[in-house]
Amino acid sequence: MNASTFSKRPVRGIWPNRVVLNGHFRGLAPILVFSGTRDLFYPDCVDLADKARAAGVPVELHLRQGQPHNYAALPTPEGREARAIIRRAVS
């Protein structure tokens, strides 16, 4: 997601109607979504998972209470758990 989500004007040539939440989900590969409740994009992550599921895409939505954006990259127990899930998914 980028600044064009919040603006009616294009940002680097990208219009708001081109953000991922407005896209087509049918036919996509399974999706892993990680978000914390302190993530600015937390509501968008939930919406993305809902829209993808509605289109028949398998989705694993991992929400963690009190975690920030990109918590999976942090050296915390929650981050380590998220990275283990990611490793299993891509191996």
Q: Who contacts 60 (Cβ-Cβ below 8 Å, separation ≥6)?
A: 30, 31, 32, 33, 85, 89
The per-residue pLDDT of the chain, averaged, comes to 84
Confidence at residue 16, expressed as pLDDT on a 0 to 100 scale:
57
Q: Note the pLDDT tens digit of each residue in 3-34.
A: 444 445 545 555 555 567 777 889 999 999 99
Q: Distance between CA atoms of 65 and 63, rounded to whole angstroms?
A: 7
Confidence at residue 2, expressed as pLDDT on a 0 to 100 scale:
43
Confidence at residue 1, expressed as pLDDT on a 0 to 100 scale:
43
pLDDT of residue 47 exceeding 80: yes
Are 19 and 1 spatial neighbours (Cβ–Cβ below 8 Å)? yes
pLDDT of residue 61 exceeding 70: yes
Domain spans of the chain? 3-90
Token representation of residue 58: 């398998």
Find the mean pLDDT for residues 46-72: 95
